[in-house]
Chain A
């Protein structure tokens, strides 16, 4: 079945450093979404990418969808302590509404 992997599993950065997490799907995706989950909280939607090669920005966050629509990345510039949490990608294959979540990357920001 469809699998979605993320690397790295954990990342500790000093405040002000950049951070990137990578997401890879075993199957071609119709779209991909990114979510953030704070410790003890629930996943919160960040963004959706639909088109091959699409790049979207939200302030310090940059999201990219691969040309083959099988991989994606999230890059955070100049991390802040408020960026702490686990970042998940979630991919939907064609002809289904199943959103399969990646394994997640837990980000810790050291002040």
Chain B
């Protein structure tokens, strides 16, 4: 398996532009997470899905952020309009629910480094 695949690896955009980040989870995994990492705030959970359904989006900063999972093999995180304070590394992770919660490791993608100028 190729692991969790994110694209693009790097994105540089200007303030006010729309940004779309993409994620392909590991096949068969039923949970998908979007995290944002900055020096100041660490790894923040933005939203997570179970079987393509958003379960908790309480970490989404504001209405400018939206996430979708149209099918089990694809998810997007969109920022519209983007602002300089959105600059961060955005990680997607997936995991497989296990009986009794005994082995719920998160597999992370390589991340998207977003710079908003």
Contact = CB atoms under 8 A, between A and B. Distances in A.
User: Which secondary structure characterizes the binding site on chain B?
Assistant: strand
Interface residues of B, number: 26
A65 to B, nearest CB: 13
B103 A97 contact: no
A100 interface: yes
Interface stretch (B43-51, B69-77, B79-87): B43-51
A33 B107 CA distance: 12
Given A42-B110, A50-B101, A99 B91 contact: no
Given A42-B110, A104-B43, A31 B104 contact: yes
Instruction: Report which residue of B42, B48, B107 has the largest number of chain A beta carbons within 10 angstroms of its beta carbon.
Output: B42
B104 A43 contact: no
Interface residues of A, number: 24
Give the 9 A-B residue pairs with the shortest CB-CB distance, closest first: A101-B43, A45-B105, A42-B108, A43-B108, A103-B42, A42-B111, A42-B110, A98-B56, A104-B42
A98 B45 contact: yes
A44 B108 CA distance: 7
A80 interface: no
28 contacts: A1-B58, A31-B104, A33-B104, A33-B106, A35-B106, A42-B111, A43-B91, A43-B108, A44-B108, A45-B105, A48-B102, A50-B101, A50-B102, A88-B43, A90-B106, A92-B101, A96-B56, A97-B31, A97-B50, A97-B55, A98-B45, A98-B56, A99-B106, A100-B45, A101-B44, A102-B42, A103-B42, A104-B42
Contact of B104 (A48, A88, A100): A48
Nearest to A90: B106
Nearest to B93: A43
